[in-house]
Amino acid sequence: MSTEPYEGVVKVDFDNGVAWVTLNRPDKRNCMNPTLNRVMHDVLDDLEDDDRCGVLVLTGEGTSFSAGMDLKEYFRETEAKGHMATRRAQRDSYGWWRRLRWFEKPTIAMVNGWCFGGAFAPLFACDLAIAADEAQFGLSEINWGILPGGGATKVVEQLMNQRQAMYYILTGEMLGGQKAAELGLVNESVPLGDLRGRVRALADVLLAKNPVTVKAAKDAFKRVIDMTYDDAEDYLVVRQEAANHLDKTEGRKEGIRQFIDEKSYKPGLASYRR
Ligand code: COA
């Protein structure tokens, strides 16, 4: 077994509140093999409990964000070991994507290059996504004989309109960063040379907010998607009350005080001072 942290398949670098998590199999275009999927559980466990991580950025080393599932190790070799091996491999991959979806801190996918098939799942799991114009996205599964599994079909159902989702599912056609932004797969797309700076600036915006509120707001949004309006109204009241309890700084009271009494900021224009 490798003695490198995370067995060499994932790198984690800290920089002023940001944990840059880099999928690190550039020779294999960062496709996800069982080792990477297992190790990502440790990465997320470690970062959730590490004060150096205020925002998690997920990206890929080299020319690729991730070329999806590893066709050799995740599919062929796992299948050869039998049904339970396949189920275990699915549990590991689906598991870290789910953990990422509900991560305690805000997350940004920084899509630097290829993003295929299974990679749509961690892309979707991140709260926000910024792509390089040069990135290429594709549901390539149809090209090698399977449907977009591992959540990928659900991802495009959630993020794109039905005609567009079906088009990319059935054709396997690629789309670049700008088109991905236009269709809602990512928030925005910038030239590759500006990508890291744009993500850093976005992370700084998130770092300036009250972290309890950020966690409550992102979970609330993800939860209400499948609720009726009335259920959502009620859930949001309860979720805010839970956040009030969790926020030992009593941020909302301080936010009101700085606006109403101190007149030191305007909530419509900026965040209160933490
Ligand atoms: N599974 C397994 N191996 C993969 C892989 C994947 N998803 N994606 C890339 N690789 C491997 C290649 O087999 C090659 O290995 P080798 O050096 O041992 O021959 C290496 O990574 C480099 O890939 P290559 O195809 O030469 O790189 P490229 O830059 O010319 O092309 C892609 C990049 C992403 C367009 C191409 O690798 C590709 O189509 N990958 C599959 C994408 C896919 O369908 N993913 C969906 C899976 S759900």
User: In the prediction, which pLDDT does 3 show?
Assistant: 58
Runs of H (alpha helix) within 57-174: 78-80, 83-101, 120-125, 141-144, 152-159, 162-171
Q: What would you measure as the largest C-alpha separation in the chain, in angstroms?
A: 68
How far, in Å, CA of 142 to CA of 14, rounded? 38
Nearest CA to ligand 1 atom 13: 28
Nearest CA to ligand 1 atom 8: 67
Q: Which two tokens stand for residue 121?
A: 């799942």
List, in order, residues 6 or more apart from 91 with CB less than 8 Å away: none
User: In the prediction, which pLDDT does 4 show?
Assistant: 78
Question: Which atom number of ligand 1 is nearest to the Cα of residue 64?
Answer: 34
Question: Which atom number of ligand 1 is nearest to the Cα of residue 71?
Answer: 1
Using CB distances shorter than 6 Å, the residues near ligand 1 are 27-29, 31, 67-72, 114, 116-118, 140-141
Q: Are 180 and 135 in contact (CB under 8 A)?
A: yes
Query: Which of the listed residues 31, 70, 97 should we mutate to test ligand 1's pocket, taking the one with most ligand atoms within 8 A of CB?
Result: 31
Domain 2-207 has CATH 3.90.226.10: yes
User: In the prediction, which pLDDT does 231 show?
Assistant: 98
Nearest CA to ligand 1 atom 32: 67
User: pLDDT 10s digit of each residue in the chain, 274 long?
Assistant: 455 799 999 999 999 999 999 999 999 999 999 999 999 999 999 999 999 999 999 999 999 999 999 999 999 999 999 999 999 999 999 999 999 999 999 999 999 999 999 999 999 999 999 999 999 999 999 999 999 999 999 999 999 999 999 999 999 999 999 999 999 999 999 999 999 999 999 999 999 999 999 999 999 999 999 999 999 999 999 999 999 999 999 999 999 999 999 999 999 999 999 9
Amino acid at 16: N
User: In the prediction, which pLDDT does 1 show?
Assistant: 47
List, in order, residues 6 or more apart from 219 with CB less than 8 Å away: 102, 239
User: In the prediction, which pLDDT does 51 show?
Assistant: 97
How far, in Å, CA of 240 to CA of 220, rounded? 9
Ligand 1 centre from 68 Cα, in Å?
9
User: In the prediction, which pLDDT does 250 show?
Assistant: 95
Q: Specify the pTM.
A: 0.97
Question: Which atom number of ligand 1 is nearest to the Cα of residue 140?
Answer: 44
How far, in Å, CA of 227 to CA of 126, rounded? 21
Nearest CA to ligand 1 atom 23: 28
Ligand 1 centre from 67 Cα, in Å?
6
What single DSSP character describes residue 53? -
Nearest CA to ligand 1 atom 1: 70
How far, in Å, CA of 137 to CA of 116, rounded? 6
